[in-house]
A and B are shown apart, each in its own frame.
Chain A
Amino acid sequence: MNLEAVRAIYKFEMARARRTVTQTIISPVISTSLYFVVFGAAIGSRIQSVGGVGYGSFIVPGLVMLSLLGQSIANASFGIYFPRFTGTIYEVLSAPVSAVEIVLGYAGAAATKSVILGVIILITARLFVPLQLLHPLWMVAFLVLTAATFSLVGFIIGIWADGFEKLQIVPLLIVTPLTFLGGSFYSINMLPHPWRTVALFDPVVYLISGFRWSFYGIADVNVAVSLGMTAVFLAVSLAIVWWIFRTGYRLKT
């Protein structure tokens, strides 16, 4: 295992995050604060509680997931796409670095940044609403698993994209709508019957539900199912990344 290479890529990517701290950290924190103002204060005043949890507190896990998914994808996709765009990817491809090491470096850095962001958002949220954390270890597990999974998704998008527009298509047209419809701001039990069933086809429901359960012990779906679905997403993402390196898709001709 070329651990020095993993460390080099990881360090390089983390340095990029430091250079773009406004975009990476400050911007999502401001956006999250605005969600609290709009959804927490304006709408929350009309919804007293959901499952016994105050609405402002209820939406915190969803907001963390919203940022976590978006930033994991953005960080990882940009991290691998930019060297492809500038041509510097030749360095990584010609170095004695395996696919696993490349992914650990790029996706690991993206996941780390997302986890840091998630923690910052939780701290920010704590300034607005009270938080309860019933299952801290499970919270960390969901946080890390989701960050890792969607960093892999971002890595895949960064390999697939052949332009900056494509880099944005999946996050904007698929991930963001799924996150909004996946129970970030409500429990799917609040939906009328047919839509509640339809919502179960949204994979993000399982991520948010499991994560919310770790805070308040309330969930839209069984926590084991949430964990299982998260593991399935991770496995599918890993399989696609494995296929990319095996075939050289968009990396090697």
Chain B
Amino acid sequence: MDNIIEISAVSKTYGSGFIALKGIDLAIRRGEIFALLGPNGAGKTTLISIVCGIVRASSGQVKVDGHDIVRDWRRARALIGLVPQELTTDAFESVWNTVSFTRGLFGLRANPAHLESVLRALSLWDKRNSRIMTLSGGMKRRLLIAKALAHEPRVLFLDEPTAGVDVDLRHDMWQLISRLRGEGVTVILTTHYIEEAEEMADRVGVINKGELVLVRDKSDLMREFGSKRLSLRLRRPLAAVPPALEGWRLELSGDGGELTYIYDAKDAHDGVGGFLDRVRDAGIEFTDLGTTESSLEDIFVSLVRQSP
């Protein structure tokens, strides 16, 4: 798979002396959904703003579909749609006029059919003649997405797209993003809702204090850094973990009625099957069992805490 965005050694130091980014190297693959995760102030918005041309990098290079964002900025920017974090809208303008304005800014002639399809997809068609100030917060958020899609971008940046959006609408947006990916649009999203990244992303990047901590396929990340728990509800409570099971990562509940085996991809033992064989050999009987796995959120928190 080729890369649509290539970020090489990008650093940013603001006038105040604050170092927002430290030598970021990142490649975004064409057609993927990439989630950029990080705590507040990690540098996510700065990085997006640099790629979109709103903030100037102190050093480094960014290419969008092979076009340098400084030397060949027109072609690079024409490919990008941006949904900003803040609900920034022209309160007095109508929905239709503002999406038409955005399309015009990108040098494209009016295309009412395209704008209609975008507004319909975002359930804004009925509001096309309404002033933006009359829209709810969720509608304004959708309008920002509609504006970003007005010029048919090949790369879509979504900076906290579902902040302040109710659950139903959030799921609608996830569907829209999946549909965009189906149409070949590359989506880069930052989010505080780790569940969002877990639901949609193909790959995940974690940024902290201006440094990219890691970039992994989501499934690899879950496998590599995640852990699973197998819990057995015991027929007879145990006073302590039997010696036959020493060496396994086990937790015994306070009442001795539940034994939990914690394992991951790097576990030296031969997994759940082996563990259950050992349990049976030790003469331990159980009445029920269940498994849980750590979420992307658990992994994210752990990675951010570990990073310097």
B100 surroundings in chain A (CB, below 8 A) = 8
Known contacts A12-B101, A252-B56; is A4 also within 8 Å of B108 by CB? Answer: yes
Known contacts A86-B89, A94-B82; is A4 also within 8 Å of B53 by CB? Answer: no
B195 surroundings in chain A (CB, below 8 A) = none
Known contacts A15-B97, A87-B86, A253-B14; is A94 also within 8 Å of B77 by CB? Answer: yes
Shortest B202–chain A CB gap in Å is 24
- Please tell me if A2 contacts chain B, counting CB pairs below 8 Å: yes
Known contacts A93-B53, A253-B56; is A87 also within 8 Å of B107 by CB? Answer: no
Give per-residue flags for B74-115: 1 if the beta carbon is below 8 A from chain A beta carbons, else 0. 110110101010101111110001001111111111000000
Contact A94 B74 (CB under 8 A): no
Interface of A toward B, CB cutoff 8 Å: 2-5, 7-9, 11-12, 15-16, 19, 83, 86-88, 90-98, 248, 252-253
Shortest A246–chain B CB gap in Å is 11
Known contacts A15-B97, A95-B77, A252-B55; is A86 also within 8 Å of B107 by CB? Answer: no
Contact B97 A93 (CB under 8 A): no
Please list the 5 inter-chain residue pairs (A to B) with the smallest Cβ-Cβ separation, ordered nearest first.
A8-B104, A87-B88, A95-B105, A96-B74, A94-B52
Taken together as a complex, chains A and B put the C-alpha atoms of A43 and B115 apart, in Å, by: 59
- Please tell me if B73 contacts chain A, counting CB pairs below 8 Å: yes
Shortest A248–chain B CB gap in Å is 6
Shortest B258–chain A CB gap in Å is 52
- Please tell me if B1 contacts chain A, counting CB pairs below 8 Å: no
Taken together as a complex, chains A and B put the C-alpha atoms of A12 and B147 apart, in Å, by: 15
Taken together as a complex, chains A and B put the C-alpha atoms of A227 and B147 apart, in Å, by: 44
Pick from B53, B90, B92: contact of A94, CB under 8 Å: B53
Shortest A127–chain B CB gap in Å is 33
Known contacts A9-B105, A86-B88, A93-B53; is A2 also within 8 Å of B74 by CB? Answer: yes
| Identity of the chain B residue whose Cβ is nearest the Cβ of A20 in the assembled complex | B92
Taken together as a complex, chains A and B put the C-alpha atoms of A2 and B147 apart, in Å, by: 18
Known contacts A88-B89, A90-B88, A91-B147; is A4 also within 8 Å of B104 by CB? Answer: yes
A248 surroundings in chain B (CB, below 8 A) = 56
Shortest B89–chain A CB gap in Å is 7
| Identity of the chain A residue whose Cβ is nearest the Cβ of B53 in the assembled complex | A94
Contact A96 B75 (CB under 8 A): yes
Contact A8 B53 (CB under 8 A): no
Pick from A5, A19, A253: contact of B92, CB under 8 Å: A19
Contact A93 B107 (CB under 8 A): no
Contact A5 B56 (CB under 8 A): no
Shortest B95–chain A CB gap in Å is 14
Contact B109 A4 (CB under 8 A): yes
Contact A96 B77 (CB under 8 A): yes
Contact B102 A91 (CB under 8 A): yes
Contact A93 B54 (CB under 8 A): yes
B75 surroundings in chain A (CB, below 8 A) = 96
Shortest A116–chain B CB gap in Å is 21
Contact A94 B54 (CB under 8 A): yes
- Please tell me if B15 contacts chain A, counting CB pairs below 8 Å: yes
Give per-residue flags for B54-78: 1 if the beta carbon is below 8 A from chain A beta carbons, else 0. 1110000000000000000111011
Taken together as a complex, chains A and B put the C-alpha atoms of A12 and B104 apart, in Å, by: 10
A16 surroundings in chain B (CB, below 8 A) = 92
